[in-house]
Structure 1
C-alpha cells in the first residue's frame, strides 16, 4: 500500500503542517512518483496564504478535491508567477488531469480545501492509457473527458473514500494489474528527475529501430512530453535545491556558487536563470519562500 513519507524533524515556525507526501507501493514505484495531500480545513488563512505555487515539471498529475475547490491564476507574463491580482480560471472538471508543464503555475483556494494530487511518470501514463504526453504538455484538462472510459469508475470510487489511505489504496488497486500488464521490461530508474531522464534515454535507444539523435529525441519527447534538454535542466534544478536545503541544515547558510557547481550548472548566473524559468523565483527568493511562506508548501514537501 501507499506509505506516508516521514515529516521533517522541524516544521517552519508560523506555517501550518497541512501537507502530506505519500509514496507508492513498491510495485508502482516506476509508475507513480508520489501523491501530495493538502488539507486546510480547520485553519484560518489570509488570502495570500491560500496561494499554491508549483514549479514546471515533467510529471503528469491527476487531482481530486474532497472539500472546497481551486482556481488557476493566469500570470500577466509568460513564465511569470500568478498572484491575487491575476485573472482566475475555474478548473476544467471535477477531476483534473495535468500534463508536463514547462512553466511554473499558481492556484488559489477561495475556501478551506482538502485535495489529492497523484504525480505520474508521463511515459507510464502513455503506456497505461495511450495518451500522448506531448499533446498534454502545458494543458490542464477534464480527467473524465481525457481518460479512457474504464478509468471513470475509479475516479468516482476514489472520491467516495473516507480517508487518504483508502483513497490511495483504491487508486493503486486499480493501477497495479494494468501496470503489471504494460510496464517496460527494463529495470526502472531511481527517484530523481535526472535518474528518470537517463533511464528514458536508454529505453529510447533500445526500444525501436532508428538510433539517430533526432529519432531518439522524438521518441523521448513523445513519451515524456518534453525534450531531453528540458528534462536535464529540471533534474539539475531539483538537485540544486536538495543541495541548498542540506547546506542550510549543515551550515546555517547557503553558498549559491557552491550549489551551482555541485548541481552541474556552468556558474551561479546559470543556476539563477534556470531556477527562475522553472519556478518563477530567484534561488534566494525560492529558498526563503520554502522556509517562511505558506504558499510554498508543495516545495517543502518535495525537498
Structure 2
C-alpha cells in the first residue's frame, strides 16, 4: 500500500499503557494483545499466534487503527467479534470505515508492504501466522497468487484445511479460545507431520530461513536452473529471493533498533552502519518501504500508541528466543 499519511497519524490519541506480561502479552488499560509462540511439533510450520481483544474498551477512532509491518508470512485470521476494515488508500485514513471489510474467516498471503486496518468498534480476533512454504506444503496452494491479498478462506483453502479452520471457530464458541487453540495446534501438528518437506525446520531469522529455501528449491528433482529455483520459491512463499532478502535485512534493523532503545540511546548513523545499510538515507527508505514510517517515527509511536500494539509484540520476538 502507499506510504501512510503521517500528518493524519500525528493527531492520533494514545491509550495509557500498563506493564505487559514479559514474553507473552502487551496490555493496556482497556485492551489486550497477546502473542503465543509455537511448541516444538509445529515450530517449523507456525511462526506465532496473535490474539487481539478490545471488548469492553473505550477507544476513540484513532486508537482503533492497527499498524502492521511487511512480513514474509501468510496467515489465517478468525474475526470472532467486531469488524476489521483494511485501509488501502491514504485518503481512507480520514474515513477508515470506507475500507473493505475483512472476511470473518480470512486468508492473507505474504505482505511485502505495511498493512493498516481499522476496527469499527470492539473486536476479538485470533491470527495464526504460518511460514508460507510450510502452508503451501500442507495445502498445495501456489502462494504467488496471494501476495498482498486478504481473501475469504472459504474461497481458497482446500477442504481439509478449511474444515480444520471451521472446527476451530465452533470450538472457540463452545470451549473458549485457550482450549480450542490447543486442539487446533494438535491438528496442525498432524497435518504438518505428513506434509513436512525434507530439510524443513524452525529458523530463528528470516535471512536463515530464506537461505534454506534456496537450498531446498535447488535440491528438488523438478529442475534446478536459476529460473526454476526462483519460480519455485515464489510459488512457495509469494515473494522473490530479493524480497525475502530485503525483509531479512529489515528484521535485523528491527533487532538492533530494539536493542538500542532498550539501552536508552539511539545513534541513527551508527545503527545504519551496524545493520549493513549504505548510509542513513538508505536505512530510512527501507524502513518506510516495510512499515510506512521512518525509524524515528516508529520509535516514538511504538512505545505507547495504542494503534502500534503489533510492534510492541514484535519487540518480544527480540527479547526472548522463540518457543520459550
* Paired residues of 1:24 and 1:32 also in contact (CA < 8 A): yes
Please, which runs of 5 or more residues in structure 2 have no aligned partner?
Answer: 1-19, 316-324
Of residues 235, 242, 261, the one that matches 1:222 is 235
Matched, 1:27 2:28: no
C-alpha separation in 2, matches of 1:19 and 1:302: 11
Pairwise CA distance, 1:187 = 4.8
Q: Which 10-residue stretch deviates more, 201-210 or 112-121? A: 201-210
1:273-293 alpha-carbon deviations (Å, 9 max, x no partner):
111011111111111111121
Of residues 231, 241, 244, the one that matches 2:254 is 241
User: 1:106-117 alignment to 2 at 5 Å?
Assistant: 106-117=116-127
User: 1:29-178 alignment to 2 at 5 Å?
Assistant: 29-76=43-90, 83-86=93-96, 87-91=98-102, 93-160=103-170, 161=172, 162-178=175-191
Aligned residues: 292
Q: Which 10-residue stretch deviates more, 272-281 or 151-160? A: 151-160
1:51-84 alpha-carbon deviations (Å, 9 max, x no partner):
001112210010012221211112238xxxx623
C-alpha separation in 2, matches of 1:292 and 1:133: 35
RMSD: 2.2
Normalising by the residue count of structure 1, what TM-score does the alignment of the two structures yield?
0.89
Please, which runs of 5 or more residues in structure 1 have no aligned partner?
Answer: none
Structure 2 partner of 1:191 = 204
Normalising by the residue count of structure 2, what TM-score does the alignment of the two structures yield?
0.84
Structure 2 partner of 1:297 = 309
Structure 2 partner of 1:231 = 244
C-alpha separation in 2, matches of 1:255 and 1:212: 43
C-alpha separation in 2, matches of 1:21 and 1:103: 21
C-alpha separation in 2, matches of 1:106 and 1:188: 31
* Paired residues of 1:15 and 1:292 also in contact (CA < 8 A): no
